[in-house]
Amino acid sequence: MASQQEETLLSRCEIPIIDLAHIGTDVCPMKSVVRRIGQQLFTALSGKGLAVLVNHGIAEEKLKAVYADLDNFCALPEGCQAQYLRNPVSNHGYVRPGMEQFDATKKELRHAFNITSLTKAAMPAEEEVPEFINHAVPLAQDLTNLSRVLLQALAYAFGVPPATLLACHSGMLQSDGRNASTMRLLYYPPVPPEDEGPCCPSDAVHYTRCGAHSDYGTFTLLAQDSEGGLEVKLNGSDKWQAVGHLPGAILVQPGELLAAWTTNILPALMHRVVVPSGTYARARGRHCVAFFCLPDNDAKLPTLPLKAAPAPAPPAFTPHTHLTLHNRLLNAAHHLQKRFRETYA
Ligand SMILES: O=C(O)CCC(=O)C(=O)O
Ligand SMILES: [Fe+2]
């Protein structure tokens, strides 16, 4: 738990809170509410760079169940885990600490289980992690459906028909390889004591939990436990600030493809996870579920009738050149493979 005194963006009410009550479902949305929420989301993501969603309908128990399943997976013998190692083509599978590095100067202590397919064959076997599939699949479906509602909301804010963005994200978690959207379960183990002030600096091993980066896709939904450590750079700011914790809330943050698609009107949020200070906090693990919403691999993203803000804030993120200028036909698959090559060992 973050210490009582710690000031965070949430404790200072600096992150817009968006209430999804009465929004309906992805297949039966309440049009006027979706429209209003789209505007709120657009204002939050273009102004601050992120938002928190409440009343989203995903029960905390579902998250706690997958956190416990991931703990059980991480406790399996290495040889057993090895059957499930990440497949570089599908991005599905287990990512051991050190296999994916955002910050080359530190050792990143992070276990991840990427889920891009919901088939039984893709999940840890029942006798290894009982219930893994029974918890992970419904949660992945909930997060997919929530993403589908948000895509409709954003479409209204962009001034295009609500089905426009849905059509470009039609294959999310369909297990057919058409779309790279991923639900990622994350466990950050306690930080070893070597990091607590080495007597000889040359021997020092510097740990972090997740190095600074922006996500690659349309947007990311992030549910986290109360351990803290997530930091972001708000739009127009170069300062790292702690996000903090709002029980039950889900964060939403734009990714690089959305930034490119909106000509940086919705910049990709820079974020990282640091090791919290204090012996007690460092000795505790942290859990999180991230859902990366991405367009279909071959989607031709339509031009959006967006006007740049009259006085745009300095962008926190510069879009990748291969996604801008004359390269208007954004290809999600190419961008993703490029970014994976940069971070996976
Ligand atoms: O653990 C978190 O809160 C963030 C994880 C993250 O940024 C990522 O996996 O891309
Ligand atoms: Fe991230």
Between the CA of 210 and the centroid of ligand 1 the distance, in Å, is: 7
| Strand stretches in the chain, DSSP E | 17-19, 51-54, 93-95, 107-108, 111-115, 182-188, 207-208, 210-213, 219-224, 230-233, 241-242, 250-254, 270-273, 286-293
How far is it, in rounded angstroms, from Cα 232 to Cα 200? Answer: 31
Task: Please report the pLDDT score of residue 322 as a whole number.
Answer: 66
Residue 236 predicted with pLDDT over 50:
yes
Q: Is residue 11 part of a domain?
A: no
Give the chain's domain count.
1
Q: Is residue 125 part of a domain?
A: yes
Between the CA of 313 and the centroid of ligand 2 the distance, in Å, is: 22
Domain range for 90 is 17-298+318-343
Q: Is residue 248 part of a domain?
A: yes
Q: Is residue 303 part of a domain?
A: no
- CATH number at 22 reads 2.60.120.330
pLDDT digits (tens, 9 = 90+) for 48-92: 999 999 999 999 999 999 999 999 999 999 999 999 999 999 999
The reply to whether ipTM tops 0.95 is yes
One-letter amino acid at 113 equals F
pLDDT digits (tens, 9 = 90+) for 185-206: 999 999 876 555 545 454 456 8
Q: Is residue 4 part of a domain?
A: no
Nearest CA to ligand 1 atom 9: 290
Token duo for residue 269: 């949020």
Which residues lie at CB < 5 A from ion ligand 2? 215
Task: Please report the pLDDT score of residue 337 as a whole number.
Answer: 86
Between the CA of 36 and the centroid of ligand 1 the distance, in Å, is: 28
Q: Is residue 127 part of a domain?
A: yes
For residues 289 and 184, the answer to whether their CB atoms sit within 8 Å is: yes
Q: Is residue 261 part of a domain?
A: yes
90, 94, 95, 96 alpha-carbon torsion, rounded to 10°? -160
Q: Is residue 64 part of a domain?
A: yes
- Tell if the pTM clears 0.90, that is, is over it: yes
